[in-house]
Chain A
């Protein structure tokens, strides 16, 4: 197996992992900020 091309697959897997985590953490942050806005509206 060509080691240079197999390295590409290794990096792709690691990047994909952190991309999925980043997307999920981003969605959590978005939901938090939406909830904070809702809390402000309820406070009024």
Chain B
């Protein structure tokens, strides 16, 4: 595993460089916007990556909360299986199909449902116990970084195209800003709360925060917004060459996000181990816990950082 990281890092660096070359040189120029449209190759993959990371944070938080009671855990598994089956069949039922936004294929909804259920079981399988909480904080922190990029590149793109930096009251823009604020408050809660309940409180906040993700994603279908329609699965007519470059960029960003999450996950695990070692050391010191340092007074179950 130690060798895998540098190999993956080199591969990701090549992929990012290739994606940059494709975005700046190979992708055709947009007839209406000119070259400035190329911001899409950083803006959209960052948004997709942030959504994925927030969803991972949601799954890890739900599983962490459920892990307290085995019966809840079992019940949740069956609920997820049932939701997966509904998500697989329902989009093909004519009445439901009519309700889908224009341009959204039932097969893509069913595939997304399958992927999400698969992700739920993968996370449950490979991240037992406290690792779920470590994964949750990792995904939230890296997700906030990618969401920050969306919020910075969006206005930079809007200024030359719309003539304004920000469209006040626009639901897509406002919901994205609220999403960012929710996850920043999640990280602040974890950083500054000393309570032994911090992890549970943060997990509950994450569950509610995740409700904003579908609002952000579907807002452009159900509300009138300044933001353009989605480039994939929304009836948009993107040039296949542009779409190809966009997918390459997303792959590169996903690999980069994976590496950053890997580092952050290891850092968090190490931090918790050191914290436990410090607490144990202070207990073994002559005089016992009364002589412990301020760092060691931190409860073992305290949140990260």
Contacting pair A9 B278 (CB below 8 A) = no
Inter-chain contacts of A24 with B (CB < 8 A): 142, 145, 260
Q: Can you add 8 more A-B contacts, CB < 8 Å, to A12-B156, A13-B157, A14-B39?
A: A1-B33, A1-B160, A7-B36, A13-B42, A13-B156, A24-B145, A25-B260, A32-B267
Q: Which among B35, B152, B264, B274 is the interface contact of A42 at CB below 8 angstroms?
A: B274
Contacting pair A1 B152 (CB below 8 A) = no
CA of A17 to CA of B226 in the docked complex: distance in angstroms? Answer: 23
Inter-chain contacts of A6 with B (CB < 8 A): 33-36, 160
CA of A31 to CA of B161 in the docked complex: distance in angstroms? Answer: 40
How far does the Cβ of B42 sit from chain A's closest Cβ, in whole Å? 5
Chain A interface residue count, CB cutoff 8 Å, equals: 23
In chain B, positions 1-51 with a C-beta closer than 8 Å to chain A are: 20, 33-36, 38-39, 42-43, 46
Beyond A7-B36, A24-B145, whether A13 also contacts B43 by CB under 8 A is yes
Contacting pair A17 B153 (CB below 8 A) = yes
Inter-chain contacts of B153 with A (CB < 8 A): 13, 16-17
- Interface check B149, CB cutoff 8 A: yes
- Pairs of residues from A and B, 4 with the lowest C-beta to C-beta distance, nearest first: A6-B36, A13-B153, A13-B156, A13-B39
In chain A, positions 24-39 with a C-beta closer than 8 Å to chain B are: 24-25, 28, 31-32, 35, 38-39
Contacting pair A17 B264 (CB below 8 A) = no
How far does the Cβ of A36 sit from chain B's closest Cβ, in whole Å? 9
In the complex, which range does the number of interface residues on chain B fall in?
20 to 34
Q: Which among A7, A14, A28 is the interface contact of B42 at CB below 8 angstroms?
A: A14
Contacting pair A10 B145 (CB below 8 A) = no
How far does the Cβ of A9 sit from chain B's closest Cβ, in whole Å? 5
In the complex, the chain B residue whose C-beta lies closest to that of A3 is B34
CA of A20 to CA of B180 in the docked complex: distance in angstroms? Answer: 15
Hey, which bits of chain B sit against chain A, CB under 8 A? Answer: 20, 33-36, 38-39, 42-43, 46, 142, 145, 148-149, 152-153, 156-157, 159-161, 256, 260, 263-264, 267, 270-271, 274, 277-278, 281
Contacting pair B149 A42 (CB below 8 A) = no
Hey, which bits of chain A sit against chain B, CB under 8 A? Answer: 1, 3, 5-7, 9-10, 12-14, 16-17, 20-21, 24-25, 28, 31-32, 35, 38-39, 42
A to B CB contacts below 8 Å, 20 in the list: A1-B34, A1-B160, A3-B34, A9-B39, A9-B159, A9-B160, A13-B42, A13-B43, A13-B152, A13-B153, A13-B157, A16-B153, A16-B156, A24-B145, A28-B260, A28-B264, A28-B267, A35-B274, A42-B274, A42-B277
Contacting pair A9 B36 (CB below 8 A) = yes
Contacting pair B35 A38 (CB below 8 A) = no
